[in-house]
């Protein structure tokens, strides 16, 4: 602070520092502390805490799941032999076991048998009375109804896992085999591994864009502005995005017409049952009524209306085919919302708008989701629209009640479309409340009240009903309260799963769902690892998807650079409400997805289309990052543009069913 600063300047500087601290604490520090506490202390979070002295161990063939009637083997016996001298001091076994019940025996004599509800706590059991001089056999039998039983022994040093430990499956415990790491899976090389020169090119490509990211981050100049472009009529500026969106619409409609909805791996039976139930009763079901009936009901009421109009139960084939076109149209509206948001926030960045619209219109994740009977594409577009209307409201110097009501109604519709609509609605409430408090103006107070009331009246009833019936506003098929709780691989998480990434470029795309959180989301964004359009044996398709994964690095780097710039703008002043709103909705949604991946530790909980609603905001970040690259490295910007065009063409060719 300068010596001659006035009291008003000092007060403003203090307020700015407090604002920045509050934003960082609210969006980073507090959520990180909460997640860390859940990981370390909550036994309901199946996270294998690391050890500095030993490693977790599991049975090598224990890949069974409980899903739609298939039963998982819940008991595993871990065993090993050890030698004890006559003068061996008292042995104390210190271990953790992922399971609800544990039985420890030495030489057939049970020394402990009891509940293990707090399985993250280290248990200590004295073995002295059961150990005899010479050879001894130690067995630890673990029962786990929530996942694959796993064992960690830290003490004594001679008995640490996984060395010399063996495991056998219940109920007869006869197939004794050497234990393996919980992350051990059969390696599946990627399609590019057949050609070493392609691997070398991939490494150079990744290193090059990493260098671009580092150099742009080191650029200390002011925030990027859009590159100057020659003046052109407004009709010309809108022509290319219009052509791109029209082409995407034609592709999505053709896919919806050709794609058999029963092929979908994403619970089509549950979605169809929901639609048929609503069409018969015109009432929103409870989570206990069906596999997918925990979902908010907006999509299903619209689908039921279309289902009835096209024959309903008298002609279910034609009626359900008509329902497929809902997401085909809704998915095409997502690049429309993207274009509107880009025009709102970056009105002079014509080329950035073109590039971002192109990548969204032909995003692989959208193309393989749009022909399905599912609420994903519809919900993503509705929530994205609510975010756009909020940003438009925050742009107003004097917000009108009509605009606040429209944004609030859209936020309520987002709440009725999917659970992630909560974060757009909460962002609106926080930002409008902040504007009302900081400006002390009645129009912002009125806008806040209108927005909150409209959002609550439209979407709040569903969550209130859940709270009254189940004791919590959020109930899913994974919740015991729904009666449909299930177990899928891997049934636990590890530090490596959360913190590592990059293997998706050198392994088969389908393995990304197990290798790491970042790899899984990246693969489902740029490829089809869930086999929605492609079969497991389609080597040609997955080869080109591996190329798409590499091409996606360029726009991903630009998006991350832009995200950093938007975050800086949000922290620069409390008046940058639009930047703050974008950062809030992105960060809170991502924290929720991280918690969901921890609470539901299965491969099916790693899906990029859970954050489809963030695509327009991330597209703004992409255009912002492109401007940063254009100013710092113009040739890299041209390469980025060419890469986006190539990936859009390749994606359109690949995902044409």
Q: Note the pLDDT of residue 98.
A: 92
Whole-Å CA distances, 326 to 231, 302, 377, 523: 38, 8, 9, 25
DSSP alpha helices (H): ranges in 471-552?
Answer: 495-499, 512-515, 517-526, 539-551
Chain segment 396-442, per-residue pLDDT in tens? 788 999 999 999 999 999 999 999 999 999 999 999 998 898 888 89
Tokens of 567: 């975050």
Task: Assess whether pLDDT exceeds 50 at residue 160.
Answer: yes
Indicate the pTM of the whole model: 0.91
Tokens of 198: 């392609």
Q: Note the pLDDT of residue 266.
A: 81
Task: Assess whether pLDDT exceeds 80 at residue 487.
Answer: no
Task: Assess whether pLDDT exceeds 60 at residue 463.
Answer: yes
Q: Note the pLDDT of residue 89.
A: 63
Residues in CB range of 170: below 8 A, 6 or more apart: 73, 74, 75, 76, 77
Whole-Å CA distances, 425 to 420, 446, 458, 583: 9, 17, 12, 14
Identify the residue whose tokens are 């994205």: 384
Mean pLDDT, range 74-82, rounded to an integer? 90
Q: Note the pLDDT of residue 647.
A: 95
Of residues 141 and 174, the one with the higher pLDDT is 141
Chain segment 135-148, per-residue pLDDT in tens? 899 999 999 888 88
Q: Note the pLDDT of residue 235.
A: 64
Of residues 337 and 236, the one with the higher pLDDT is 337
Tokens of 657: 């069913």
Q: Tell me the C-alpha distance between 151 and 109, whole Å.
A: 20
Whole-Å CA distances, 13 to 17, 19, 20, 221, 567: 6, 10, 11, 22, 19
Please give the mean pLDDT across all residues of the chain.
Answer: 89
Q: Note the pLDDT of residue 11.
A: 78
**In this structure, are residues 137 and 110 in contact, taking their beta carbons and an 8 Å threshold?**
no
Chain segment 620-651, per-residue pLDDT in tens? 999 999 999 999 899 999 999 999 999 999 99
Q: Note the pLDDT of residue 8.
A: 67
Chain segment 61-73, per-residue pLDDT in tens? 755 544 444 566 7
Task: Assess whether pLDDT exceeds 50 at residue 223.
Answer: no
Q: Note the pLDDT of residue 77.
A: 93
Band of residue 172 on the pLDDT scale cut at 50, 70, 90? confident
């Amino acid at each position: 602070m300068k010596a001659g600063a006035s009291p008003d300047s000092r007060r403003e500087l203090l307020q700015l520092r407090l604002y920045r601290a509050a934003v960082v604490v609210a969006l980073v520090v507090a959520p990180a502390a909460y997640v860390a506490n859940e990981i370390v202390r909550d036994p309901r979070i199946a996270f294998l805490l690391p050890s500095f002295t030993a490693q977790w161990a599991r049975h090598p063939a224990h890949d069974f799941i409980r899903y739609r009637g298939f039963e998982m083997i819940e008991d595993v016996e871990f065993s090993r032999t050890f030698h004890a001298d006559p003068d061996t001091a008292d042995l104390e076994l210190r271990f953790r076991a992922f399971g609800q019940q544990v039985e420890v025996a030495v030489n057939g004599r049970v020394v402990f048998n009891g509940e293990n509800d707090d399985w993250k706590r280290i248990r200590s059991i004295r073995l002295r009375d059961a150990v005899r001089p010479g050879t001894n056999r130690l067995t630890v039998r673990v029962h786990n109804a929530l996942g694959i039983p796993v064992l960690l022994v830290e003490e004594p040093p001679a008995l640490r896992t996984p060395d010399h430990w063996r495991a056998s499956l219940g109920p007869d415990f006869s197939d004794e085999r050497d234990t393996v790491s919980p992350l051990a899976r059969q390696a599946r090389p990627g399609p590019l591994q057949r050609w070493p020169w392609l691997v070398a090119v991939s490494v150079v490509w990744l290193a090059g864009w990493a260098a671009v990211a580092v150099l742009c981050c080191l650029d200390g100049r002011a925030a990027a502005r859009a590159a100057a472009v020659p003046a052109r009529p407004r009709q010309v500026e809108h022509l290319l995005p219009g052509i791109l969106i029209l082409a995407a619409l034609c592709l999505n409609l053709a896919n919806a017409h050709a794609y058999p909805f029963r092929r979908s791996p994403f619970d089509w039976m549950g979605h169809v049952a929901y639609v048929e139930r609503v069409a018969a009763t015109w009432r929103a079901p409870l989570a206990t009524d069906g596999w997918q009936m925990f979902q908010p009901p907006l999509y299903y009421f619209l689908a039921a209306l279309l289902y009835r109009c096209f024959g309903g139960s008298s002609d279910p084939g034609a009626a359900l085919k008509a329902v497929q076109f809902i997401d085909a149209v809704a998915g095409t509206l997502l690049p429309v919302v993207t274009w509107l948001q880009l025009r709102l926030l970056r009105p002079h960045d014509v080329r950035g708008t073109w590039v971002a619209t192109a990548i969204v219109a032909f995003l692989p994740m959208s193309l393989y989701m749009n022909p399905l009977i599912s609420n994903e594409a519809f919900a993503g577009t509705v929530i994205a629209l609510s975010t756009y209307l909020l940003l438009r409201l925050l742009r107003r110097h004097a917000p009108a009640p009509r605009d606040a009501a429209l944004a609030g109604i859209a936020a309520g519709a987002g709440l009725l479309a999917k659970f992630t609509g909560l974060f757009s609605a909460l962002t609106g409430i926080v930002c409008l409340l902040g504007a009302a408090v900081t400006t002390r103006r009645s129009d912002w107070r009125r806008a806040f009240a209108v927005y909150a009331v409209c959002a609550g009246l439209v979407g709040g009833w569903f969550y209130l009903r859940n709270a009254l019936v189940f004791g919590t506003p959020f109930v899913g098929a994974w919740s015991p309260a729904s009666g449909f709780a299930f177990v899928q691989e891997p049934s636990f998480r590890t530090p490596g799963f959360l913190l590592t990434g990059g293997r998706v470029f050198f392994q088969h795309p389908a393995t990304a769902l197990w290798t790491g959180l970042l790899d899984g989301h990246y693969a489902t964004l740029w490829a089809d690892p869930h086999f929605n359009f492609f079969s497991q044996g389609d080597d040609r398709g997955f080869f080109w998807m591996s190329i798409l994964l590499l091409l996606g690095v360029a726009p991903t780097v630009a998006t991350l650079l832009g995200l950093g710039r938007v975050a800086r703008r949000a922290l620069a002043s409390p008046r940058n409400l639009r930047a703050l709103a974008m950062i809030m909705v992105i960060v809170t949604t991502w924290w929720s997805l991280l918690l969901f991946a921890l609470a539901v530790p299965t491969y099916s909980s790693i899906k990029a289309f859970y954050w489809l609603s963030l695509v327009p905001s991330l597209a703004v970040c992409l255009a912002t990052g492109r401007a940063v690259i254009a100013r710092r490295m113009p040739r890299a910007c041209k390469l980025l543009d060419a890469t986006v065009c190539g990936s859009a063409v390749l994606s359109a060719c690949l995902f044409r069913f």
